[in-house]
Structure 1
Amino acid sequence: MKKILCLLGVAAFVTIGVANAQIEKGNLMVGSDLGSSLASPSGSATNSGLFGMNFGLNKGDGFNIGINPKIGYFVKDNVMIGGVVNLGFSKAPNYNGAAKTTSYGIQALGRYYLNPGEQGVNNLLKHGRFFGEVNAGFAGFNTTGGNTTNGFAFGFGPGYSYFITPNVALEGLLKYNGLVGGGNTTYRHAIGLSLGIQVFLPSAKVKSIVNDPSQL
């Protein structure tokens, strides 16, 4: 019962807030994307797909999975800086048997949310915001018996956040991703499409809960 009450408390806390105050200075963003966020090697199955997971149903098919946890802090209204961790794994058949690819990355992250007047539309469905996102840092792709690249990664592109509650947003993000560095492939790039969910929290409230968990 205590666990259930705690979960209900967290859910209630997440939904507390004033509309249009999610991206104000001092707020935190915590969440994750599921999908491609790094440039996939040409010809491989490392692209984690629209929902971050693909499992082949035919005999001999492989699978891939990818997740990109994010955290950010709003240094001013509409402007967020933070970081993202990239984690991915895939296994796909090839002429040598099964190729396994692992991807990883730690990158700085930045976002700018457009004001309603800047969006060109009247704040789609009244509950969303367009944004631009950029990232840069260290990352790599390594395929057993195949192409590898480890070095500097970067990406940029537009996204859209649809707020299903005042503090929780579903997101779609389309980005150009590049990776340059050492290995037998020095540069690769791709277009990545991902979906995700983000939670926006006032930092003062987060600190208060950390200091006194009984508030949940």
Structure 2
Amino acid sequence: MKINTLFFLLALAFSMPTNAQITKNNWLVGGDVAFSYSKTKPESTVDSQSFTINLTPNVGYFFLDKLALGTRAEYTLSRYKSDSGTSKFDRFLISPFARYYLLNIDKMVNPFLESSYRFSLINENNSREFSAKGGVAIFLNNSVAFEASLIYFNSTSNNTYVGNHTLLLGFGIQVHLEKL
């Protein structure tokens, strides 16, 4: 019975109109917090655990219906602990992004795709970073959306031994401001 109710509510949410402000000449302001945690299995040769949190306020502009371009400031905090010691790192980045909403502008639940290229505010071994994000925006009204997303970060540098692939689970709020 619960699965039928959940299916009905999801179908209703995907079909309800809201007239969200994801149209040309509107603004997108908000941010999200994302995190990941990993721990090795007890039978592993190295006992380790890691934690990453990413805070990202953003601002964007809809140049076309459903397509926003913008920038975000990112703060990343990572902690790693293993048998050989601990390490931590904090970084500040600027990231231009492109976001595209997949469904019509009148949907209350609207999946989106986003991509960005991240620049460090402090030169960190000439790293190059790319992120891809996929998620769903749930519009609470025509201007405010709650978001849940999966975020993939790919980081490389000129040092062939330094690189990182990270998958984060993110939650955020976006405010879609109508053109003035």
Matches within 5 A, 1:44-193: 45-48=50-53, 66-91=54-79, 93-94=81-82, 98-116=86-104, 127-139=108-120, 151-182=127-158, 185-193=161-169
Q: Which has the higher helix share?
A: 1
Q: Which has the higher strand share?
A: 2
Deviation at 1:174, TM superposition (A): 1.1
Contact 1:149/1:186, CA 8 A, preserved across alignment? no
Distance 1:32 1:154 in 2: 18
Contact 2:52/2:79, CA 8 A, preserved across alignment? no
Quick check: 1:201 aligned with 2:173? no
Distance 1:191 1:140 in 2: 22
Alignment CA distance shift 1:174-1:200 (3 Å): same
Unaligned runs of at least 5 residues, structure 2: 1-16, 37-47
Alignment CA distance shift 1:94-1:184 (3 Å): farther
Q: Please, what is the CA RMSD of the aligned residues?
A: 3.1
Tell me the residue number matched to 1:27: 26
Aligned length: 153
Deviation at 1:149, TM superposition (A): 6.0
Secondary structure (helix, strand or coil) at the match of 1:194 reads: strand
Alignment CA distance shift 1:74-1:163 (3 Å): same
Contact 2:49/2:81, CA 8 A, preserved across alignment? no
Deviation at 1:72, TM superposition (A): 0.5
Amino acid at match of 2:166: A
Distance 1:134 1:30 in 2: 17
Secondary structure (helix, strand or coil) at the match of 1:161 reads: strand
Deviation at 1:156, TM superposition (A): 1.4
User: Which deviations, in whole Å up to 9, do the C-alpha atoms of 1:80-102 show, x marking residues without a partner?
Assistant: 00012110224565557653221
Distance 2:62 2:25 in 1: 5
Amino acid at match of 1:197: I
Amino acid at match of 2:109: G
Deviation at 1:197, TM superposition (A): 0.5
Amino acid at match of 1:177: F
Alignment CA distance shift 1:21-1:92 (3 Å): closer
User: Which deviations, in whole Å up to 9, do the C-alpha atoms of 1:58-109 show, x marking residues without a partner?
Assistant: xxxxxxxx31111110001001000121102245655576532212211110
Alignment CA distance shift 1:185-1:102 (3 Å): farther
Deviation at 1:191, TM superposition (A): 1.6
Alignment CA distance shift 1:69-1:183 (3 Å): farther
Distance 1:191 1:93 in 2: 18
Secondary structure (helix, strand or coil) at the match of 1:155 reads: strand
Matches within 5 A, 1:205-216: none
